[in-house]
């Protein structure tokens, strides 16, 4: 809370210079001893009025302009908690337009767009143990397995209404814990006027959408997640914003939040406006929004959406002008993202920052001092596209396209990656992951189990969109709940069980994550067996005796007496067989324990032999080996 004139002047100056990272305490609405202080940034407005329930939405409460910053302010004793308000902005051209408060923390339910005078009450958090542990965690050396959720379509009531966070607390948290995920990541939860945007066209950058419930309910949800050792991430969208006239666009009649150049301001592809990321006041606004969510809701991190659109001037479909060097880099966006990550890491060192970014021209993860953007992780879109293309393919062609699976081994250490099977891959006619798979229904499930095993054993953190864990056949629909009725089908139920077993194996086995930031984490056994379309490799931990052998049979042909090179003599035991009957396959028992023989295989002096199920994946672990 800003109280004195000196504090107000300091906050104003920091806002103007792009250094006010808690700008919601200066702008928006604050309670004081005289009532409420309202402030809004509209530097080129002719006049601004506060309107709302408390004055019949008329022009009886004109605001005064702070000439230095272009911020309009008013102290009034009329409003009370819970009433609705807007700013009536007489724009530079004389038009009067009702505008929302960019710093509001609560809005009325859509289709209404007015802000609510709202104070988030103090909360006694019970997640101290979780937060204390997170301070000691090296995330790169820990398991990270994310369940991606669209909050209002995970589950619906019979009347079609989505669950609130109060209800999600009772059902989603136990489900995620039972399934073995380490984190939940929500599609944007901030206020947005149209559900069809999935939350990616925001209007309220500080407000939990009232469609999802109250801030108190969401804080209780996060608190209980942490008590159950589940982290919570949220998608955040600083690249662009909704074009509705009563929101941020041309707030005072001139480019305010957006670029002055209309070609840069308008995102043709998405029908939105792009933030002017070089403008100091916009930097204060956006970084304040990010810190607000991390601070007020105890979030464990954020995924920054559409990073490519902030980095490259030619990203959109419209005309563009090269930068001062003649290239396509958007330096405002580049330096803003570095600044964003630097500020967040200073305030919340353990916050996990993820980038949804698909190019390879800019280093996304790593130290800012080396020229990187400072993110912790980058979504590996190339891996995802290649893998899906491979598993959709008729197996007869796979021997000629084996590079789609193995190419990622060439660049897997270039960045710190997350392997995403996300919401973007199960909409707009792309079909669900299950529906993408080749073959009849039995083979589609076999493929899905095989593909998930490859994802879970390939270096990189993991993310899977809701419903994919049991192989939902229908595409995701944002306005309906998931097809939970699928689980009455034996194959879907067994697929869900498989995913839970695989998730728990991932979290249990240190070799799948302990050395993930080094090339020592993986050793290829045979990546050239294109004729049989079998891929074999090892994942290692710090303990030389602790490793896993992964064998993926990528065609519907069983391989008997299949040879696999191993590093040490001894016995090796199967710990996962995707074709077990409990998972939806036909195998009733495991392969026998394999005893190695002294017979060279590629670069190994020892080998084992086993049976590879058709379209099956095996994970094998040393049982008793000699390492001397």
**Beta carbons of 599 and 590 less than 8 angstroms apart:** no
- Give the integer Cα–Cα distance in Å for 455 and 462: 7
CA within 13 Å, CB half, 396: 1
Point out the catalytic residue in the list 148, 356, 376, 486.
356
Contacts of 122 (CB under 8 A, 6+ apart): none
- Tokens describing residue 440: 């009849």
CB-CB neighbours of 296 under 10 Å = 18
Q: Which of 138, 114, 120, 79 is nearest to 246 (CA)?
A: 114
- Give the integer Cα–Cα distance in Å for 374 and 525: 34
Query: Is beta strand 183-186 parallel, antiparallel or unpaired with respect to 190-191?
Result: unpaired
- Give the integer Cα–Cα distance in Å for 456 and 504: 11
Q: Which of 112, 30, 32 is nearest to 71 (CA)?
A: 30
Has 356 been annotated as catalytic?
yes
**Beta carbons of 525 and 564 less than 8 angstroms apart:** yes
Q: Which of 545, 489, 548 is nearest to 513 (CA)?
A: 548
Point out the catalytic residue in the list 12, 305, 316, 469.
305
- Give the integer Cα–Cα distance in Å for 427 and 198: 11
Torsion of CA 249, 253, 257, 263, to 10 degrees: 80
- Tokens describing residue 287: 């970084």
**Beta carbons of 72 and 40 less than 8 angstroms apart:** yes
Burial-class residue 564 by CB neighbours within 10 Å (0-12, 13-18, 19+). Answer: buried
User: Which residue numbers are catalytic?
Assistant: 305, 356
């Amino acid at each position: 809370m800003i109280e004195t004139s000196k504090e107000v002047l300091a906050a104003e100056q920091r806002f103007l210079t792009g250094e006010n990272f808690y700008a919601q305490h200066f702008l928006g609405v604050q309670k004081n001893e005289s009532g409420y202080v309202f402030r809004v940034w509209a530097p080129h407005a002719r006049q601004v009025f506060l309107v709302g329930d408390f004055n019949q939405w008329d022009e009886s409460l004109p605001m005064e302009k702070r000439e230095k910053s272009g911020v309009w302010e008013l102290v009034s004793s009329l409003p009370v908690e819970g009433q609705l308000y807007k700013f009536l902005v007489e724009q530079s051209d004389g038009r009067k337009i009702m505008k929302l408060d960019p710093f509001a923390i609560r809005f009325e339910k859509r289709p209404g767009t007015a802000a609510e005078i709202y104070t988030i009450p103090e909360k006694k958090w019970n997640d101290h143990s979780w937060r204390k542990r997170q301070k000691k965690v090296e995330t790169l050396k820990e398991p990270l397995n994310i369940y991606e959720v669209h909050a209002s379509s995970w589950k619906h009531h019979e009347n079609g209404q989505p669950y609130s966070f109060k209800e999600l607390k009772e059902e989603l948290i136990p489900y995620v814990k039972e399934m073995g995920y380490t984190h939940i990541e929500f599609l944007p939860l901030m206020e947005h006027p149209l559900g069809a945007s999935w939350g990616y066209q925001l209007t309220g950058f500080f407000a939990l959408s009232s469609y999802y419930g109250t801030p108190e309910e969401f804080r209780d949800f996060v608190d209980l997640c942490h008590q159950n050792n589940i982290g919570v991430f949220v998608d955040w969208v600083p690249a662009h914003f909704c074009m509705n006239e009563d929101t941020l666009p041309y707030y005072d009649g001139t480019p305010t939040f957006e670029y002055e150049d209309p070609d840069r301001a308008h995102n043709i592809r998405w029908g939105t406006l792009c933030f002017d990321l070089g403008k100091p006041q916009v930097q204060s606004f956006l970084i304040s929004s990010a810190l607000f969510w991390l601070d007020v809701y105890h979030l464990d991190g954020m995924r920054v959406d559409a990073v490519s659109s902030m980095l490259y001037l030619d990203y959109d479909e419209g005309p563009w002008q090269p930068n001062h060097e003649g290239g396509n880099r958007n330096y405002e966006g580049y330096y803003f993202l570095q600044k964003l990550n630097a500020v967040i890491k200073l305030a919340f060192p353990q916050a996990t920052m993820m980038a949804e970014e698909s190019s390879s021209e800019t280093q996304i993860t790593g130290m800012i001092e080396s020229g990187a953007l400072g993110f912790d992780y980058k979504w590996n879109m190339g891996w995802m596209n290649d893998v899906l293309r491979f598993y959709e393919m008729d197996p007869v062609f796979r021997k000629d396209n084996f590079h789609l699976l193995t190419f990622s081994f060439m660049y897997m250490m270039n960045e710190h990656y997350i392997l995403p099977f996300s919401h973007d891959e199960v909409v707009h006619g792309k079909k669900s992951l299950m529906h993408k798979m080749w073959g009849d229904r039995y083979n589609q499930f076999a493929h899905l189990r095989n593909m998930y095993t490859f994802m879970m054993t390939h270096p990189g953190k993991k993310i899977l969109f809701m419903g994919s864990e049991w192989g939902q056949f229908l595409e995701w629909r944002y306005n309906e709940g998931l097809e939970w009725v699928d689980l009455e089908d034996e194959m879907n139920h067994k697929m869900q069980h498989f995913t839970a077993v695989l998730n728990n194996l991932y979290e249990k086995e240190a070799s799948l994550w302990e050395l993930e930031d080094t090339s020592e984490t993986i050793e290829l056994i045979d990546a050239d067996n294109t004729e049989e379309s079998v891929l074999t490799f090892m994942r290692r931990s710090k303990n030389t005796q602790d490793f896993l052998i992964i064998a993926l049979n990528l065609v519907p042909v069983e391989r008997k007496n299949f040879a696999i090179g191993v590093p040490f003599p001894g016995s090796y035991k199967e710990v996962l067989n995707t074709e077990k009957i409990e998972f939806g396959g036909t195998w009733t028992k495991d392969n026998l324990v394999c005893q190695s023989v002294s017979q060279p295989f590629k670069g190994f002096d020892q080998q084992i032999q086993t049976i590879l199920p058709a379209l099956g994946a095996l994970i094998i672990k040393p049982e008793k080996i000699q390492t001397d």
